[in-house]
Amino acid sequence: MSAKKPVEVSYFPGCSMKTSAKENNESLKEFFNKIGIKLVELTDWSCCGSSSAHCVDTDLALDLASRNLAIAPPDKPLLVSCPSCTLRLKQAHLHISEDENLQKRFKDKWGKSFNPDLKVIHYFELLEEMDFSKLAKEIKKPLTGLKFVPYYGCMLARPPEMRHAKNYHNLLENMLAALGATPLDWGSGSRCCGTFLSVAKPEAITPIINEIIQNGINTGADCLITACSMCQLNLEIRCDLKHQIPTLHFSEVLSLAMGTNKYKRWFPRHLVDPTPLLTRLGLIP
Amino acid sequence: MKACDPNFAREIMEKSKTSLTRCFSCMTCSSGCQFQHIMDVKPHAIIRMVQTGFREEALSASGPWLCVGCNTCSTNCPNAIDIPAVMDAIRQTAIVEKRKIPEPNVLNFHNAVLNSIKRYGRTHKIEIMMRYKLIQRDLFSDMDIGLRMLAKRKLDLRASKVKELPEIKKLFNKAG
């Protein structure tokens, strides 16, 4: 696989991946690199509007997202990793596609016609097409012994206008099980982490986060695995249980299975240290 | 009690582009909501208030401000109502009408984020936190978490910036 010339995909990292969750960003690029896909960062990308713009100003939210649609290379899919950015960009693309007035607004703002064919995709959409049993034969470190609960947060929920699109329940479990890990069933995998209420209303979020982590512990998991960097941060900073378990980024675990040696830059950035667990399982020295 | 506003439902449906007259108050939204226990008026009741024209009550409720837009409710809704879009419409109406915001800390946070996007084109987390804490006059809560995040290099001191900043600033000017 690595002998071939890598396929290039344009990539929208978003603010979290680029700053507070660099370990998520780096490990995602590393994993895709290992499977022959090069993520090329979208030049001069800007914030998608995050959770805040749509709360106070619908037009501003649309414009902030649409700038990124305007600067994306038209001939390649735009790959997004942050679930929240994915929703903002996909929804903006959908709204503009369906409304001539918004297409005019787009042209007035960005001096070019809206491209209805631009594909905004979450990276799960690439993973879903892979043959996991084939990948399992290529990995360097099987994830044997890694008992985890999958934490999606709100990433698989969506507005009704998008409910007929494909969805990816169980992808995390299927893929990691194929690579040797043991997913455990639990009831908290799709409970929202609280997003910005973690800042604006922390006293309400700590009990929710504690319940999620405690459910993971009660299930017998050694860790939570999530594909959202904001969830990962909230789970780490708002849990005040005496006994905690780490929350790993999905991309970190995938890269470990591929035999990466770059993890030394990632794990020191965790507030709940995953290295004792990973050492015990022999996944890192 | 103030008179009901017979046009309120139409107003919110136009703004949110969702048909909330489809709601039959099954309460599925509220029962799945992770935050309903901290809301004074829960999602199903907000929808009911809009349907029945309780404009004042809906626009002064904390529920819409505590909705984070996680879409759990709209995924579960048997009538495919975009409930978070209704919450957006209610919040925005309250802002435009310069009403007293029931959860001012939430709006302060959103404003701190938007300020950062306006300045840099991206969110600069440490500055957002500092500005938010200053507005709240609460500098010391969460100081421990901030320091731990700094120690783990999870908070960049320098902002990551967009090069074409005038493009971003223009969006804010037009938005008022």
State the pLDDT at residue B136: 87
In the stretch 90-129 of chain B, residues with CB closer than 8 A to chain A read 91-92, 95, 103, 105-111, 113-114, 117, 121-125, 129
Contacts of B164 in chain A (CB under 8 A): 44
User: Are the Cβ atoms of B34 and A50 closer than 8 angstroms?
Assistant: no
Which residue out of A25, A46, A151 would a mutagenesis test of the B interface target, given it has the greatest number of B Cβ atoms within 10 Å?
A46
- Which tokens is A170 given? 């169980």
Global pTM reads 0.95
Contacts of A271 in chain B (CB under 8 A): 148-149, 152, 154
pLDDT confidence bin for A3, thresholds 50/70/90: low
Residue B24 vs residues A85, A160, B122: alpha-carbon distances, Å = 32, 17, 41
Q: Please report how the helices A250-257 and A171-178 are oriented relative to each other, as an axis angle in degrees rounded to 10.
A: 20
A56 lies within 8 A of chain B by CB: yes
Contacts of B104 in chain A (CB under 8 A): none
- Which tokens is B132 given? 């938010």
CA nearest neighbour of A247 among A23, A79, A30: A23
Segment among A56-70, A258-272, B132-146 with least mean pLDDT: B132-146
Assigned architecture for domain A7-122: Up-down Bundle (1.20)
**Percent of chain A beyond pLDDT 70?**
99
User: Are the Cβ atoms of B34 and A268 closer than 8 angstroms?
Assistant: no
Which string of DSSP letters, residue by residue, matches chain A? -TTSPPEEEEEE-HHHHHTTTHHHHHHHHHHHHHTTEEEEEPTT-----HHHHHHH-HHHHHHHHHHHHHHS-TTS-EEE--HHHHHHHHHHHHHHHT-HHHHHHHHHHHSS---TTPPEEETHHHHTTS-HHHHHHH-SS--TT-EEEEE-TTTT---GGGTTS---TTHHHHHHHHTT-EE---S-TTS---TTHHHH-HHHHHHHHHHHHHHHHHHT-SEEEES-HHHHHHHHHS---SS---EEEHHHHHHHHTT-SGGGGTGGG-SS--HHHHHHTTS--
User: How many A-B residue pairs are in contact by the CB < 8 A criterion?
Assistant: 164
State the pLDDT at residue B174: 60
**Percent of chain B beyond pLDDT 70?**
97
Which residue out of B33, B75, B79, B131 would a mutagenesis test of the A interface target, given it has the greatest number of A Cβ atoms within 10 Å?
B75
In the stretch 7-26 of chain B, residues with CB closer than 8 A to chain A read 15, 18
Closest to B109 (Cβ–Cβ): which among A49, A196, A204?
Answer: A196
Which fold, A141-280? Rossmann fold (3.40.50)
The nearest alpha carbon in chain B to A13 belongs to B122
Radius of gyration for chain B, computed over Cα atoms and rounded to the nearest angstrom: 19
Q: Does residue B1 surpass a pLDDT of 60?
A: no
In the stretch 128-167 of chain B, residues with CB closer than 8 A to chain A read 129, 132, 141-142, 145, 148-149, 152-156, 160, 162-164, 167
Query: What are the domain boundaries of chain B?
Result: 8-96, 104-175
Contacts of A98 in chain B (CB under 8 A): none
Closest to A197 (Cβ–Cβ): which among B35, B108, B167?
Answer: B35
Query: What are the domain boundaries of chain A?
Result: 7-122, 141-280
Of A19 and A143, more confident: A143
- Opening angle at CA A144, ends A140 and A145, nearest 5: 150
- Per-residue pLDDT tens digits for B100-158: 999 999 999 999 999 999 999 999 999 999 899 988 888 788 888 888 898 888 888 89
Which residue out of B20, B109, B142, B173 would a mutagenesis test of the A interface target, given it has the greatest number of A Cβ atoms within 10 Å?
B109
User: Are the Cβ atoms of B66 and A46 closer than 8 angstroms?
Assistant: no
Quick count: other Cβ atoms within 10 Å of Cβ B42?
A: 20
Q: Does residue A163 surpass a pLDDT of 50?
A: yes
CA nearest neighbour of B14 among B109, B86, B72, B75: B86
Contacts of B70 in chain A (CB under 8 A): 153-154, 157, 192, 195
State the pLDDT at residue B176: 43
- Per-residue pLDDT tens digits for A87-133: 999 999 999 999 999 999 999 999 999 999 999 999 999 999 999 99
